[in-house]
Amino acid sequence: MTDRVREAVFSSLGGRVEGAVVADLFAGTGSIGLEALSRGAAAVTFVERSRRARAVLDANIAAVGLGGVVVAGDVEQWLDAGDGQFDLAFVDPPYALSLPSVESILGRLAVRMVEGGIVVLHRRVGTSPAEAPDGMAIADRRRYGDSEISRIVKETS
């Protein structure tokens, strides 16, 4: 996600970041989760499978000094195994990840979100848009250059 897109995303979230418990899935170097921490998120869990990306992520977390928990592993397995709840989640999968895989992740993530929680999904423009899983709704979908950002909200009961 480019700096411009990341700034637009965080501007659209406004005060929802402050005090939030955040999941940064497919965290890469951690730029999204670290931005959340710098804007007042209470906690961020970074999930990344790539050993090389995790090395950079660990260095970035240490350099920024705002904390965060790094999980080394597969996003789907982590979602299935965990029991924490999140106010905000960022899903920035590799562009090559298939639509069914992305939608499977969103379905698994839905049960881990608090009511009213927000999932921000980053996809490449031109790929088939992901549908919201049961219990969630697409609140907004915007295009920024070659990026498409969907904001998906957990419905309240």
112-145 pLDDT per residue, tens: 999 999 999 999 888 888 999 999 999 999 998 8
62-106 pLDDT per residue, tens: 999 999 999 999 999 999 998 789 999 999 998 888 899 999 999
Q: 0.85 exceeded by the pTM?
A: yes
CA distances from 91 to 1, 96, 157 (A): 11, 14, 24
What residue ranges define each of the domains in the chain, with the CATH number in brackets? 3-154 (3.40.50.150)
Q: Are 86 and 119 in contact (CB under 8 A)?
A: no
Backbone dihedral region for residue 44 (phi beyond 0: left; psi -120 to 50: alpha; all else: beta): beta
